């Protein structure tokens, strides 16, 4: 069994821990937190050994009535691999720790691409991560874009991508985020960081991205225009996407007209936390004009990178190829709405 350490047990870390627990070839060695809170308590309730990420704050856990298994250094030393799910910028600070104990590490999309050996998306470049010491699982938006572009590149070729990303202001639990009553160009300059980030997966891709932030918390929304290398009928693209396990085509009959109903559907379907690991593409939005493809897709920013982290674990350790890993991950966590 692969012994997985998870450093950072917040929005992403707790979801990755739950997903690791479902895998037949992995187990959670422990999780690390910087301070006691409700997530630390639920980690212990779930049976995950809890480690102190900051030595100077270790006594806070005892004061809160929470038993810790030790310092994060012990967790890293004993692990086969670390999933760093700490806030943006902290992963870079932790790299030295992982190198000290010669433990390979996965980082999240908020870290700079030059921190790592390779940026990772399971559908697009799984093999590039085999044997790497430091791998970055790209952000929720880059993950969503990469999942769509990979099959399009393979089937038709891609000449140009233009994407407008309407981004939620913050996650439901991020009470300090905004805007509250505004619509912000974010950034106001072109491109947003998402295009260059996608190019860390496809280094020959021509892509422009624009970003906006809106007063919402549920999901991101992408308006996508892809110029293909050949003219294609929209029905062919729908059929192509239908073969991709991590692309959910929302049928018109469901009457799902936005993120609110999507999240409601996820809850009604029994998804943990109402998570949606797949890209959610409105089927009727898939349109073509000559070689230009258009579509809308929703991206659940709290969860779409979770299966990618699981696949990255196997890639780094050479435990499976892409097809085998994706199939295992999808089957165990329940991908397929």
Domains of the chain: residue spans and CATH: 2-138+305-333 (3.40.50.720), 140-299 (3.30.360.10)
Report the alpha-carbon distance of residue 135 to residue 129 in Å, rounded: 7
Please check whether residue 8 is in contact with residue 87, taking contact to mean a CB–CB distance below 8 angstroms.
Answer: yes
Provide mean pLDDT across the span 214-236: 97
Q: What is the pLDDT of residue 52?
A: 97
Q: How many other β-carbons are positioned within 10 Å of the β-carbon of residue 224?
A: 22
SS3 8: coil
Q: What is the largest CA-CA distance in the chain?
A: 66
pTM above 0.85, yes or no: yes
Element (H, E) at 141: helix 140-155
Distance of CA 175 to the CA centre of its chain: 21
Average model confidence (pLDDT) for the chain? Answer: 97
CA dihedral defined by 63, 52, 307, 313, rounded to 10 degrees?
A: -160
> CA–CA distance from 23 to each of 143, 176, 231, 319 (Å)?
21, 35, 41, 13
% of the chain surpassing 70 pLDDT: 100
Report the alpha-carbon distance of residue 190 to residue 133 in Å, rounded: 33
pLDDT in tens, 89-104: 999 999 999 999 999 9
Report the alpha-carbon distance of residue 253 to residue 92 in Å, rounded: 46
Q: How many other β-carbons are positioned within 10 Å of the β-carbon of residue 270?
A: 8
SS3 16: helix
Query: In 3D, which of 91, 185, 190, 109 has the Cα closest to residue 145?
Result: 109
Instruction: Check whether 188 has a pLDDT greater than 90.
Output: yes
Query: In 3D, which of 126, 333, 336 has the Cα closest to residue 243?
Result: 336
Catalytic residue (one of 140, 165, 276, 280): 140
Query: In 3D, which of 102, 105, 78 has the Cα closest to residue 93?
Result: 105
Instruction: Check whether 15 has a pLDDT greater than 90.
Output: yes
Q: What is the pLDDT of residue 133?
A: 98
Numbered residues of the known binding site for D-glyceraldehyde 3-phosphate: 139-141, 194-195
Please check whether residue 206 is in contact with residue 229, taking contact to mean a CB–CB distance below 8 angstroms.
Answer: no
pLDDT bucket at 174, cuts 50 / 70 / 90? confident
280 is catalytic: no
What is the per-residue DSSP string for 145-201? Answer: HHHHHHHHHHHT-EEEEEEEEEEESS-TT-TT---SS--EESSSSSS-THHHHHTTT
Residue 11, both tokens: 């929005």
> CA–CA distance from 21 to each of 16, 28, 146, 332 (Å)?
9, 6, 26, 9
Q: What is the pLDDT of residue 279?
A: 98
Q: Kindly report the CA angle at 8 between 277 and 213, in degrees rounded to 5? A: 55
pLDDT bucket at 328, cuts 50 / 70 / 90? very high
Numbered residues of the known binding site: 11-12, 110, 139-141, 168, 194-195, 301
List the alpha helices (DSSP H) in 79-139: 90-100, 122-125
Report the alpha-carbon distance of residue 118 to residue 138 in Å, rounded: 10
Instruction: Check whether 173 has a pLDDT greater than 90.
Output: no
- Beta 292-299 vs 279-282: how paired, if at all? antiparallel
Using the structure block, give the residue that is written with the tokens 């010491």: 133
Numbered residues of the known binding site for NAD(+): 11-12, 110, 168, 301
pLDDT in tens, 262-309: 999 999 999 999 999 999 999 999 999 999 999 999 999 999 999 999
Distance of CA 62 to the CA centre of its chain: 33
Report the alpha-carbon distance of residue 63 to residue 60 in Å, rounded: 5
């Amino acid at each position: 069994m692969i012994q997985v350490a998870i450093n950072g047990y917040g929005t992403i870390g707790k979801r990755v821990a739950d997903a690791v627990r479902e895998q037949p070839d992995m187990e959670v060695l422990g999780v690390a937190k910087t301070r006691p809170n409700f997530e630390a308590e639920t980690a212990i309730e779930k049976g995950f050994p809890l480690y102190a990420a900051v030595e100077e704050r270790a006594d806070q856990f005892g004061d809160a009535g929470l038993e810790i298994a030790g310092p994060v250094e012990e967790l890293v030393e004993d692990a086969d691999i670390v999933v760093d799910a700490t806030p943006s910028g902290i992963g870079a600070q932790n790299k030295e720790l992982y190198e000290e104990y010669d433990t390979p590490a996965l980082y999240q999309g908020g870290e700079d691409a030059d921190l790592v050996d390779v940026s990772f998306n399971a559908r697009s470049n799984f093999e590039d991560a085999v044997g790497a010491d430091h791998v970055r699982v790209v952000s929720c938006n880059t993950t969503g874009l990469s999942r769509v572009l990979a099959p399009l590149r393979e089937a038709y070729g891609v000449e140009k991508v233009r994407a407008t990303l309407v981004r939620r202001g913050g996650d439901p639990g991020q009470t300090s985020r905004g805007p509250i009553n505004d619509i912000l160009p974010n950034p106001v300059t072109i491109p947003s960081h998402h295009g260059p980030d996608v190019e860390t997966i496809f280094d020959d891709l021509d892509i422009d991205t624009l970003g906006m932030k809106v007063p919402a918390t549920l999901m991101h929304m992408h308006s996508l225009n892809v110029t293909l290398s050949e003219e294609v009928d929209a029905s062919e693209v729908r059929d192509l996407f239908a073969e991709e396990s991590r692309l959910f085509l929302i049928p018109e009959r469901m009457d799902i007209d936005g993120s609110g109903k999507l999240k409601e559907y996820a809850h009604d379907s029994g998804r943990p936390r109402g998570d949606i690991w797949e890209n959610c593409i409105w089927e009727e939005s898939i349109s073509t004009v000559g070689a230009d493809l258009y579509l809308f897709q929703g991206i659940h920013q709290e969860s779409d990178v979770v299966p990618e982290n699981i696949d990255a674990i196997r890639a780094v350790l050479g435990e499976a190829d892409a097809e085998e890993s994706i199939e295992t991950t999808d089957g165990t966590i329940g991908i397929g709405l």
